Amino acid sequence: MTRLRTYFLTGLVIAGPIGITLYLSWSLIQWIDGWVKPLLPVHYNPDTYLPFPVPGVGLIVSVCVLIMVGFLTANIAGRSLISFGERILGRMPLVRNLYSGLKQIFETVLSESGSSFKRAGIIEYPRKGLWAIVFLATDTKGEVAVRLDHHDEMISVFLPTTPNPTSGFLLFVPRREVILLDMTVEEAAKLVISAGLVTPPYPPEKDKALPKASKKAAAPKEPADIEG
């Protein structure tokens, strides 16, 4: 019975992530197909002349449409058309705030040159003696930076919640109070999602090969500046 229990847990560890990944991927494909397939002409929809539904057609069409939209808006005529449409949206009281906010979020998240969430760190939160993982965003800017100018140099950090790291809190923290971690943002996210059950190995494998004397000679790390 002990061996059967061990085999069952091992199989669950292997099959669980695979099953959940396949389920979420399949659900996403079906959701996109449900939106796109009804908009396709009858001659271009394979479900109309095949005896079985073809999954993924809507996803392929959506990717092609997005590529075409990006191609058309890359020239002067496309940018002029987008600017004209944004000016029209800018005159709508409720829509302009929603559009500008969503556009800024998408540009920040999808920007290849952005420096968002390149490092992970820990801060004392919610009180002294308790520590929480944060993702370092950028230096504090705008009115918040001006209002806090008499304090220490501030940085903006995102404190994720467990087990859903997509929700959390935006905090403005003195730079000297943030301890940078060697783990990547992905490893820190896994630690948050698993509620501390999945801990990345430390020190990294490359550091384990170093002699102990070299490790002792290395100076302890201080809360350094955010790497770009």
Helix or strand or coil: residue 116?
Answer: coil
Closest CA to 138 of 59, 226, 48: 226
* Per-residue model confidence (pLDDT) at position 179: 93
Give the whole-angstrom CA distance, residue 224 versus residue 144.
Answer: 22
Give the whole-angstrom CA distance, residue 120 versus residue 188.
Answer: 7
* Per-residue model confidence (pLDDT) at position 71: 84
User: 15-29, pLDDT tens digit by residue?
Assistant: 888 889 899 999 999
CB distance 148 to 169 below 8 Å: no
* Strand-pair partners of 122: 133, 179
Give the whole-angstrom CA distance, residue 208 versus residue 131.
Answer: 26
Tell me how crowded residue 182 is: count the other CB atoms within 10 A of its CB: 13
* Strand-pair partners of 205: none
Kindly state the tokens that stand for 33.
């197909």
* Per-residue model confidence (pLDDT) at position 169: 92
User: 18-71, pLDDT tens digit by residue?
Assistant: 889 899 999 999 999 888 888 888 888 888 888 888 888 888 989 998 888 888
